[in-house]
Amino acid sequence: MEKSRPLTLVSTAHRHPNPTTNDQHDVVLDYVINSGFAGTAKVLSSSRVPSAPCSSTSTPSSERVEGEEGMDVDDGGIDSGALGTPATPATPASAGGAVGESPIRAALAAAAARRLAATSPGTPTPAPDTIKEDAPANGNSTNGKGAIKGDGVPAIDQATLESIDHRRVIIDAILNGAIPRAVSGIQQHFPTVLMRKSSSSSNGTTVLQPPAPPTSIPPHQTPVFSHSYAPEHVALNLQIQAWIESYRNNLSTPGSPGSSVGSLNGSAKESGLSDAQIKQLTEAWNEIHRIVSQFKPDVAASYVKEVKDLSGLLAYSESELERDDCPLRGFVDQRRRIALANQINAAILRSENRPIQSHLEQLARRTCAVYSTLHSHGVEVMPSWTGDAKAALKRRPFQKGGFDLHEYVWEMA
C-alpha cells in the first residue's frame, strides 16, 4: 500500500501556465458585467488584446493563485456578501479545452458553451457575462449571436449593454431608497422578475428556508428569503422596503407634531408623524400583512416576525433608531438596501438565463472554503513562500482562520 503523504497547501499554479493578461481581463470583465457597471464594461469589452498561444511546457516563475496579479476589484457597487460556498472546481487543461489552457479560461469557455447550447433560436443570447474566448484550435470562429471576433475580442452587443444600464439604474435606485423607481424599472425592462408563473406560486410555495443570519449581523439587516428569486418573495421584499423608506422619509419631513402611534402596535409613544402619515403607513402595513397571510404556513411564519417588528418602527424616533442598542436598527441600515439590491440583481440575471455569480466570486468562495476547511482541521494555512515572495507577503488576509479577498487585493495592490 502506498504510504500517504501529509496534507499540505500547494498552489495549483505550478500545474498550469501563468495566467495571461486576457485571463485576468476576462475575469474582471465578467465581474464588472455581473455587477452592472455598464461604463466599465464598455471600456473593457473593447480593450482585450489578441492572445498569443500558451505553451503547455511553460513554468511559472513563482507560485501564486491564478489570476491574482494585477486584479483590481471595484468594490464601489454591490457588496457580494458572505463568501463561503465552494464553487465547481476548475477544469484542468488535460480534461478538455485547448492544450495549455488555464483553468480560468477553460471555466469561462465551458460556461459560455453551456449557456449557448441551452439557448433556443428564438430567445436572446444569455449574455453579457458570457466571456467569449479566442477562436477554436481549428481556426474557425463562431458567428452566431454573441459571436467571437477573429481577433479574440469578446462581442458585447448594444442590447446587452443597454440591459446592463437598466440593471444599474434599478440597483442604484434601491441603494438610494427609491423603491417605486426601482419597481417601475423592473416592470418596464425585466417584467418576468415580478411575474408569477402560475397561480400555484401565489401562495409562496418554496423549498428554501431563510438562513439564520450570523450572530454578528443585527436582526432585520437582510430581508427574509434574500436568496430567493421567486417573484412573490422578490415583490414582497420590495414592498416591505418601500414601507421602510416611506417611514424614513416621513421622519425626515414630519407633519403635525404630537401625533401618537396606536393604530399598529398600541404604543402611545410620540412619533412626530402626522395623522395622515400614520394612516398611510397603517394602510400599507395592512396590505403587507394581507399578502403574508396568503402564503403557506411555513413561508408565512418566516415573514410574520419581520412584519410584526416592522410596525414597531413607529414607536421609535429617528435618533433612537440610530443607537447601537436599538433592536430594530437593522431595518434602516444601509446594508439592508445592499442585500436587497443583491437579491434583485441576481433575480434579473436569473430571469435572463445568466449566472448569478461572477467567476471572481466563485473563485473567492472556493478559496474561502478551502482555507476554512484546512483551518478547521488544524492545518497551517499560511503559504510556505520563501525569499523575496516571503518578504513581500502580507499576512493579514490569511489570519483569523480564513481568507479575505478584499484584504488580499488591497494588500497585494
Residue with cell 458572505: 82
Q: Which three cell numbers stand for residue 323?
A: 443607537
Q: State the Cα angle at 383 between 378 and 389, rounded to 5°.
A: 160
E strand residue ranges, 35-134: none
What local confidence, expressed as pLDDT, does residue 9 receive? 41
Q: State the Cα angle at 52 between 47 and 56, rounded to 5°.
A: 135
Which residues of the chain are under the pLDDT cut of 70?
1-19, 21, 48-155, 197-218, 253-272, 381-413
H-only helix segments in 222-317: 231-252, 275-293, 297-312
What local confidence, expressed as pLDDT, does residue 219 receive? 78
Residues 171 and 181: beta-carbon distance below 8 Å: no
Residues 74 and 36: beta-carbon distance below 8 Å: no
Residues 116 and 97: beta-carbon distance below 8 Å: no
Q: State the Cα angle at 18 between 15 and 21, rounded to 5°.
A: 150
Cα–Cα distance for residue pair 236/201, rounded to 1 Å: 13
Residues 6 or more apart in contact with residue 38 via CB below 8 angstroms: 161, 164, 165, 168
In sequence order, what are the beta bridge partners of 260?
270
What local confidence, expressed as pLDDT, does residue 294 receive? 92
Q: What is the pTM of this model?
A: 0.63
- 3-class DSSP string for 345-413: HHHHHHHCCCCCCCHHHHHHHHHHHHHHHHHHCCCCCCCCCCHHHHHHCCCHHHCCCCCCHHHHHHHHC
